[in-house]
Chains A and B, each alone.
Chain A
Amino acid sequence: MAGISSNPAATATRPQAPMVRRLAPLVIFALLALLPLASALGLPGHWLTLVTRAMIFAIAALSLDLVLGIGGLISFGHAAYIGIGAYGAGILISEGQTELLVALPVILLACTVFAAITGYVSLRTRGVAFIMITLAFGQMAFYFAQALSAYGGDDGLTLYEKSTLFGREIFGNRTGFYYIALGTLAFCYWLARRLVASRFGRVLRAARENSVRVTVTGYDVDHVRLGAYVISGMMAGLSGFLLANQTDFVSPAYMSWSRSGELIFMVVLGGVGSLYGAILGALAFLVTEDVLSSLTQNWKVIFGPLIVLFVLFTHGGIAGLANKLRGRRDG
């Protein structure tokens, strides 16, 4: 402990930065990559579909963790972007345009516009008002979809084709779809990691902890947050696009407010701000949901109290638990 040296000339040698090794994400992705093998060895095919769906939601949860965990903004309207992505795919397909290279830019643009406008208004407020407003904007998207009578309205829209790449079916095969979802998730995770480690991400993280300090250092905190909000919205839109192709169906329920709440739970379940925690959280959530709903149709009566107990008695989610275990081992 040198404390403060009064003699600036006495330069201490610069210590090396401690190495950060992230083993958990590697393990997660390796296991996910091997799952189809287990399926070939006799694991019921249902699991492949379930994990594909979980990975699609993991993309959305990951995108939410960017604003919630990294940026400290509790967005309660994130399901809207899943909906925009899903409806983007659905509407284009039902109009005869299945090409993915057309659909994706349209979806990303739509998400950008929606996120930029609603984000700009929402970010004028703080704290609880931000939660309420994002919830209200999410609900606005929900009612808009309900009113889209040309595209199924309240009943939703069944898709008779899937998206194509250069006119070729790429989503038809279950294992193929699994690896596309895994690849997209891995890409999004990589992107999010890079983003968090970047200059932009450093400012975003710093603003979560001390926005006054960041402002007087010379940054416009609201611009940075809006940027993160838009990027996050685009990523969630991607998840909606995949979801529409997996279920061959699009409905307003995709953007219901309880879906937004579930996304928040996935992030908290896995551990806020850890990014890979959002993936774990989504997997744990969907598997639990699947198991419980196969036991009873009233599974929410069990699931709701589980959420309450989880909040009351744990801190830091699954990733936090892993860290605690590791800390114990090291010490």
Chain B
Amino acid sequence: MTLSLLIVQLLNGLQFGVLLFLVAAGLTLVFGVMDFINLAHGVQYMLGAYLAVTFVSLTGSFLLGLVLALAAALLLGLALEFLVFRHLYERDHLDQVLATFGLILLLNQAVKMIWGAAPLSVPVPEFLSGNVRLMDGILYPVYRFALIAAGLGVGALLWFVVEKTRTGMLLRAGASNAPMVSALGVDIRKLFMIVFAFGTMLAGFAGAMAAPILSVEPGMGDTVLILAFVVIVVGGIGSIRGAFVGALIVGLVDTLGRSSMNDLLRLFMAPASARATGAALSSMLIYLVMAAVLFVRPEGLLPAKGRS
């Protein structure tokens, strides 16, 4: 692999990591604060992408479409919270897993019925089209840079909210001791709803931002959900910082693994078998990394304080 290719792959890995972070942050926050495991979180990512497809083509403007898609994703999320999730907070994890699994079946199929099974896409917006010239002969799309920047921006905002504001303090306290927070006179139901809405927005935003570069198709949320789980487990459950580090690790390892495994194996294998083994190995790589991390640190790399 040449240096230029390496740089491009590093950027791709970073961009993938940022996307994963947006999904994982909401998931880990909801879990950390509410002790609620929401498998339908990936579906909210998918809905964000589909709503972006619809609203961008309706309005003809990427930004306006993005805003409308986020609003619609938020409304859908709140409706789900009101109808289903709210009744699950007190239940055990098995009930939560099962009910949100049922929602995935429903929503994946509903999306297929409404938008069709064929992959859709969103055009890259005019003002973010084109490429940036990094070095001689290396071009990198502006949109992907924008995606990285947006992700890092949201990450910084999250860090600020969680570490520096009163709401953030309540969130951190709620994550380790919910009864104490409600004893302080905080309406825990309202706090839960805010956290949930926030998580939904993050996932929807990730989906909408991914729509121009990934194909929008039913079930696209499932893959992302499982990767977000890996991110959370690697980073430490309930920890935003952990989710950020975990997301970058998973994004980089997966991207670099897929692009370099083949070359690496060719050093000591026949090309044909190197290709086959490389494909199998690189798709398993992040799970092996996850296993290694858990083997050394069962609680993850940066576990949330007050949680064991």
Contact between A and B in the complex (any CB pair below 8 Å): yes
Q: In whole angstroms, what is the CA distance A129 to B242 when docked? A: 14
- Report yes or no: A304 in contact with B84, Cβ–Cβ below 8 A: no
- Known: A125-B298, A301-B106. Contact between A135 and B98, CB under 8 A? no
Contact of B283 among A68, A128, A146 (CB under 8 A): A146
Please give, as numbers and ranges, the residues of chain B lying within 8 Å of A124 by CB-CB distance. 294-295, 298
- Report yes or no: B284 in contact with A144, Cβ–Cβ below 8 A: yes
A218 within 8 A of B: no
B279 within 8 A of A: yes
- Report yes or no: A128 in contact with B84, Cβ–Cβ below 8 A: no
B200 within 8 A of A: no
- Known: A149-B279, A298-B109. Contact between A308 and B284, CB under 8 A? no
- Report yes or no: A298 in contact with B97, Cβ–Cβ below 8 A: no
Please, which residue of chain B has its CB at the minimum distance from the CB of A117?
A: B291
Closest chain-B Cβ to A51's Cβ sits at a distance in Å of 23
Interface residue SS majority, chain B: helix
Q: In whole angstroms, what is the CA distance A58 to B221 when docked? A: 29
Of the listed stretches A183-191, A193-201, A257-265, chain B binds: A257-265
- Mark A139-179 against chain B: 1 for CB-CB distance below 8 A, else 0: 11001101111100000000000000000000000000000
Q: In whole angstroms, what is the CA distance A257 to B227 when docked? A: 12
Contact of B276 among A68, A133, A150 (CB under 8 A): A150
Contact size class for B? 35 or more
Using a CB-CB cutoff of 8 Å, which residues 98-137 of chain A contact chain B? 118, 121-122, 124-125, 127-129, 131-133, 135-137
Contact of B93 among A122, A131, A150, A272 (CB under 8 A): A131
Please give, as numbers and ranges, the residues of chain B lying within 8 Å of A132 by CB-CB distance. 229-230, 232-233
Please, which residue of chain A has its CB at the minimum distance from the CB of B284?
A: A140
Please, which residue of chain B has its CB at the minimum distance from the CB of A76?
A: B97
- Report yes or no: A300 in contact with B98, Cβ–Cβ below 8 A: no
A321 within 8 A of B: no
Contact of A121 among B99, B237, B280, B295 (CB under 8 A): B295
- Report yes or no: B298 in contact with A136, Cβ–Cβ below 8 A: no
Closest chain-B Cβ to A149's Cβ sits at a distance in Å of 6
Please give, as numbers and ranges, the residues of chain A lying within 8 Å of B95 by CB-CB distance. 311
Please, which residue of chain A has its CB at the minimum distance from the CB of B273?
A: A150
- Report yes or no: A312 in contact with B94, Cβ–Cβ below 8 A: no
Interface residue SS majority, chain A: helix
- Known: A74-B97, A125-B298, A307-B102. Contact between A136 and B107, CB under 8 A? no
A306 within 8 A of B: yes
B290 within 8 A of A: yes
- Known: A124-B294, A125-B294. Contact between A308 and B97, CB under 8 A? no
Q: In whole angstroms, what is the CA distance A303 to B233 when docked? A: 30
Contact of B106 among A150, A264, A272, A304 (CB under 8 A): A304
- Report yes or no: A264 in contact with B109, Cβ–Cβ below 8 A: no
- Report yes or no: A148 in contact with B229, Cβ–Cβ below 8 A: no
Please give, as numbers and ranges, the residues of chain B lying within 8 Å of A131 by CB-CB distance. 37, 93, 97
Q: Which 3 A-B pairs have the closest CB atoms?
A: A307-B102, A304-B106, A304-B105
A-B contacts, 29 of them at CB < 8 A, read A124-B294, A124-B298, A125-B299, A127-B93, A129-B298, A129-B300, A131-B97, A135-B226, A136-B226, A136-B287, A137-B287, A139-B226, A140-B288, A143-B283, A144-B283, A149-B279, A258-B101, A261-B97, A264-B97, A264-B98, A301-B113, A304-B103, A307-B98, A307-B102, A308-B84, A308-B106, A311-B91, A311-B98, A311-B102
Interface residues of A (CB under 8 A from B): 68, 74, 76, 118, 121-122, 124-125, 127-129, 131-133, 135-137, 139-140, 143-144, 146-150, 257-258, 261, 264-265, 268, 272, 298, 300-301, 303-308, 310-312
Interface residues of B (CB under 8 A from A): 31, 37, 39, 84, 87-88, 91, 93-95, 97-99, 101-110, 112-113, 222, 226, 229-230, 232-233, 237, 276, 279-280, 283-284, 287-288, 290-291, 294-295, 298-300
